[in-house]
Amino acid sequence: MNQIVFIEIINPFKDKIFRLAKRLLTSTEEAEDATQEVMVKLWNKKENLNQYNSVEALAMTMTKNYCLDQLKSKRAENLKIVHNNFTDREAGLDKKMEDADSLEWVEKIMSQLPEQQQILIQLRDVEQYEFDEIAKIVDMNETAIRVALSRARKKIRESMLNTHQYGTK
């Protein structure tokens, strides 16, 4: 496989690799390093990529595993999970501030979720992966994924309601 074909295969989901890495590692520099590492690993496997059903699922699995390894290593002890992919739609200043505040709360709540739930929320709700694709990436069955997502969303919803209803009773 030549370089041009490889790039054509990888380019459609390169940004997803970065966003997952950023979700897990927080630091833009760490996420860029992780993306580069995954790309190098994929390049080294380029001759065998056609044996995989989904190169994208392989890449996302490699990204998840690499990031989790980094989080477990000594040099990643001080990292936390933050979500920075929020964009607004030119709302008014008050709406922008309210949205930013809500996003900040969701980020705080998400950072308190178990790591697995954070990954599932990122893959399903942010990256919009289908359940069968997520199952391949995280090596779980779809029912377990749905249950974990439901619990994570419920926790986020309850925490947000408690936050915004505080002092109104």
**pTM (global) more than 0.85:** no
> Which tens digit of pLDDT belongs to each residue from 56-104?
888 999 999 998 888 887 454 544 444 444 454 555 777 777 777 777 8
Tokens of 123: 């893959």
The C-alpha atoms of residue 89 and residue 96 are separated, in whole angstroms, by 9
The C-alpha atoms of residue 39 and residue 71 are separated, in whole angstroms, by 19
Q: Which amino acid, residue 162?
A: N
> Which tens digit of pLDDT belongs to each residue from 102-135?
778 888 888 889 999 999 998 998 888 999 999 9
The C-alpha atoms of residue 109 and residue 74 are separated, in whole angstroms, by 25
DSSP state of 49: G
The band of 166, judged by pLDDT with boundaries at 50, 70 and 90, is low
Residue with tokens 């998840």: 64
Identify the pLDDT of residue 81: 45
Residues 6+ positions from 59 with CB-CB distance below 8 Å? 10, 13, 17, 38, 42
Identify the pLDDT of residue 82: 46
Identify the pLDDT of residue 103: 78
- Coil vs helix vs strand at 106: helix
> Which tens digit of pLDDT belongs to each residue from 12-37?
888 899 999 988 887 889 899 999 99
Q: What domains can you pick out in the chain, each with its CATH number?
A: 1-80 (1.10.1740.10), 88-169 (1.10.10.10)
- Coil vs helix vs strand at 139: coil
CB 134, CB 120: distance < 8 Å? yes
How far is Cα of residue 114 from the mean position of the Cα atoms in its chain?
13
The C-alpha atoms of residue 36 and residue 18 are separated, in whole angstroms, by 9
Identify the pLDDT of residue 164: 67
